[in-house]
Structure 1
Amino acid sequence: MPLVFRRRRPRRGFTLIELLVVIAIIGVLIGLLLPAVQGAREAARRAQCSNNLKQVGLALHNYLSTHTTFPPVVVLPRGRTTQPWSGLTRLLPYIEQSNLYDAINWDRDFEFTTSPTLAKVRVANFMCPSEVNEVPRLTPTLTYYPNNYCFNQGTWFVYDPVSGQVGDGVFVPNRAYGPQAITDGLSNTLGMSEAKAYQANYWDSQNPSVLGVAPPSTPAELITYVGGTFDRNGHTEWVEGDVHEVGFTTTFSPNTKVIANVAGQPEEIDLTSMRDGESITLPTYAAVTARSYHPGGVSAMMLDGSVRFVKDTIDLKIWRGLGTRAGREVISADQY
């Protein structure tokens, strides 16, 4: 019987060139898909941020229903320095955090330093999901937890401990305003906005040191007031009532870069002339800018409880107008 030799068919496989082409195509597809995925994630984070602000806005209005005014951002005793509680602590019962609020004995615990346990607690409603530095801040005496949502404290001037004068914002020291005092209208007045945790800042520059100083018109003009102590701990203490911890001002529009030279390196800064409660003679001026990690702007809550996304490109005059409680500016929603 004759032998039959069958020819083996060569196995079909990828050549090196074909494999490289496939890898290149996959890389291109990933490159096209990744921005879309990142965009979807950021949209989800921004939606959660907006929801957080809505919850805080609801808390403000529940506080208003109970007390007939919005809460004071801070209460400062005249004639002595203090480490004051923030307005955020007064909202705790209205965001289902009564257990935290009840930890404060308001008849005895005049300062937040009396409650080291509370200072380190994370309150989810106060944190934006896009925040990249959400970590506790450890000090030799206390551990603090940061916050992203801050009270509108006006244009520039905040408080004078000698005369008791306050700035033009809604949330100012030693005042608790009701809707009747917000003559610009609740829907046309900023209540709260975002700020970045661990913001670099100068504090206690003691400049300006007199009343009646107009707000700087440019970042370069603000730099002339730089001095005092530099750190990177702005907005890291939700329990404390200082403007650079739980407040913002409309000195500059959202995400404006104010660059100072710090030890030979550029730093994007805020500035507070004197921390609230740290002097019985010097006024507090503050350029604490609203900032966020959302591309193009910040989430902001109006006093009527509505939340809007305000673009970085908003006209500074409009932004400052939104920050005043009784400036009589005529502003329509299509301007921002």
Structure 2
Amino acid sequence: MNKCLQRRGFTLVELLVVIAIIGVLVGLLLPAVQAAREAARRMSCSNNFKQIGLAIHNYHSAYNQLPTHGTGTNPLLTAEKTANGPWDHHRSSNMGNRMRLSMLVGITPFIEQQAIWEQISNPMGTTYPAMGPTPDVLAYGPWATEIPGFRCPSDPGFGLPALGRTNYAACVGDSFSTHPHGPWNSYRTQRTGEEGSRISSRGFFKTLDKTRFRDCLDGLANTIAAGEIATDLGDDDKRTVNWRDNSNKSPTWGQVRNNPSRCKSKVQADRPQFWDPIHTVDVNASQGRGFKWADYQPTYTSCMTILPPNREVCGPYNSAGVTLVSTMSSRHQGGVHVLMGDGAVKFITDSIEAGDETARQISNGYRDGHQSPYGLWGSLGTRAAKEVISEEF
């Protein structure tokens, strides 16, 4: 037999060389593939936000106001007590939601979630009242439902201890001091002339109070309506869980009010996205960022333009996530999506000019309409401070 006609196989060395070449090619292509996937997820996230913006505008067209952030029912109250504001909002109840519903609940019929809205508003054959129990009741189906339009595809958060998660939060301005109170000084005493509410509830949404487009004197295109937030993964991420030390009663409300970046020193030096383990992160496991899409409290569905994007969340040790400096955050590289009042979606980088992060909180010590101390970032979060935004962002 002619040896020239014999078929010769690959040697072991040749196979190893081919495998090595394939490995190198895969290594070169994998980052590009991952970048393409993230770009697609980021575009999907932006589209979700655009749908939320459209829903807000359709809601305003139907009801001549924005969906209220902090609304609902409280049948346990007498008419006299109801006139003075929500009562025991932090207590769980199956008989009413204690005025804790977020603006996301109101827009469900406008984002093709009519079925969820019907369950909430017309609970036929259930033991729950119309508009449901408080948003922390796990057994209530709608509150535990993950709505795809409220989730960013880049965020891997899933399951308990969260209920239905959300990555989109209402912007309430550049002050956290009276967020849970809205137009009330406390849950028992109404403000005189609501002056305090006007001074510190300066965002596109006012908690426990209605707002309209006409209230946005800075212009819809210059005011952030909502921002993106990353949900908590249980890893002590500074952006998704509030640091506090209950045993030492730190930080106090006054410390955070006087310096919103008070918790910055508790972040790891070599891992600046996480709280330092030598400090106490003493938080209830269910109080992670974005854990309850139906709950208006700042931990879950509110954001502020105080600290720049992807900075730490910080609040008093005894606030239970109700009083909290809660900025925007995301799983995207380098910034966050924001929804402007006119429905446009923009990507804001972490390096946006944010003024003095240690500036004392806007509160009763400031006059109504005082310019935000938090630079361009604070200006974008306020609706009627008459700041001129002359640069592209």
Tell me the TM-score normalised to structure 2 length. Answer: 0.69
Separation in 2, partners of 1:116, 1:234? 20
**Residue 274 and residue 241 in structure 1: after superposition, are their counterparts in 2 closer, same or farther (change >3 A)?**
farther
User: What SS does structure 2 have at the residue aligned with 1:51?
Assistant: helix
The residue type equivalent to 1:303 in the other structure is G
Q: Show structure 1 runs of 4+ deviating over 6 A.
A: 203-206
Higher share of residues assigned strand: 1
Separation in 1, partners of 2:296, 2:341? 20
The residue type equivalent to 2:333 in the other structure is P
Measure how far apart 1:89 and its partner are.
Answer: 0.6
Deviations 1:165-209 (A, max 9, x none): 432212232221112211111111111111111222247979654
Which residue matches 2:3?
Answer: 8
User: What SS does structure 2 have at the residue aligned with 1:56?
Assistant: helix
Which residue matches 1:186?
Answer: 220
Deviations 1:52-94 (A, max 9, x none): 0000000000111112121221138526212512211111111
Separation in 1, partners of 2:45, 2:58? 20
**Residue 57 and residue 230 in structure 1: after superposition, are their counterparts in 2 closer, same or farther (change >3 A)?**
same
Measure how far apart 1:218 and its partner are.
Answer: 6.4
Do the aligned residues in 2 keep the contact of 1:201 with 1:230 (CA within 8 Å)?
no
Do the aligned residues in 1 keep the contact of 2:310 with 2:327 (CA within 8 Å)?
yes
**Residue 206 and residue 104 in structure 1: after superposition, are their counterparts in 2 closer, same or farther (change >3 A)?**
farther
| Residue pairs, 1:17-36, within 5 angstroms | 17-36=13-32
| Residue pairs, 1:61-80, within 5 angstroms | 61-75=57-71, 78=85, 80=87
Which residue matches 2:273?
Answer: none
Which residue matches 1:246?
Answer: 301
Separation in 1, partners of 2:266, 2:305? 13
Deviations 1:24-50 (A, max 9, x none): 211111111111111111111111000
Deviations 1:107-165 (A, max 9, x none): 674633577111111211100011111x2324xxxx71111011112223224442464
Which residue matches 2:148?
Answer: 124
**Residue 71 and residue 274 in structure 1: after superposition, are their counterparts in 2 closer, same or farther (change >3 A)?**
farther
Greater Cα offset, 77-86 or 117-126: 77-86
Deviations 1:241-272 (A, max 9, x none): 1111011112211112x3xxxxxxxxxx5436
**Residue 206 and residue 109 in structure 1: after superposition, are their counterparts in 2 closer, same or farther (change >3 A)?**
farther
User: What SS does structure 2 have at the residue aligned with 1:193?
Assistant: strand
User: What SS does structure 2 have at the residue aligned with 1:240?
Assistant: coil
Separation in 2, partners of 1:306, 1:272? 34
Separation in 1, partners of 2:112, 2:316? 32
Separation in 2, partners of 1:307, 1:108? 30
User: What SS does structure 2 have at the residue aligned with 1:325?
Assistant: coil
Aligned pair count? 306
User: What SS does structure 1 have at the residue aligned with 2:227?
Assistant: strand
Which residue matches 1:152?
Answer: 171
Separation in 2, partners of 1:43, 1:255? 19
Which residue matches 2:277?
Answer: none
Separation in 2, partners of 1:329, 1:212? 25
The residue type equivalent to 2:297 in the other structure is D
Which residue matches 2:105?
Answer: 89
Separation in 2, partners of 1:29, 1:211? 54
Separation in 2, partners of 1:71, 1:314? 29
Greater Cα offset, 58-67 or 69-78: 69-78
User: What SS does structure 1 have at the residue aligned with 2:33?
Assistant: helix
The residue type equivalent to 1:197 in the other structure is T
**Residue 305 and residue 273 in structure 1: after superposition, are their counterparts in 2 closer, same or farther (change >3 A)?**
farther
**Residue 274 and residue 159 in structure 1: after superposition, are their counterparts in 2 closer, same or farther (change >3 A)?**
farther
Q: Quick check: 1:51 aligned with 2:109?
A: no
The residue type equivalent to 2:57 in the other structure is H
Do the aligned residues in 2 keep the contact of 1:200 with 1:230 (CA within 8 Å)?
no
Separation in 2, partners of 1:207, 1:325? 30
**Residue 131 and residue 272 in structure 1: after superposition, are their counterparts in 2 closer, same or farther (change >3 A)?**
farther
Which residue matches 1:112?
Answer: 135
Measure how far apart 1:320 and its partner are.
Answer: 1.5
| Residue pairs, 1:262-273, within 5 angstroms | 269-271=313-315
% of aligned pairs identical? 33
User: What SS does structure 2 have at the residue aligned with 1:144?
Assistant: coil
Do the aligned residues in 1 keep the contact of 2:167 with 2:290 (CA within 8 Å)?
yes
Structure 2 spans left out of the alignment, 5+ residues: 73-81, 90-97, 122-128, 233-239, 268-279, 355-374
- 1:329 is aligned, of 387, 390, 393, to 387
User: What SS does structure 2 have at the residue aligned with 1:74?
Assistant: coil
Do the aligned residues in 2 keep the contact of 1:202 with 1:230 (CA within 8 Å)?
no
User: What SS does structure 1 have at the residue aligned with 2:264?
Assistant: helix
Separation in 2, partners of 1:51, 1:108? 28
Measure how far apart 1:329 and its partner are.
Answer: 1.8
Separation in 2, partners of 1:168, 1:237? 24
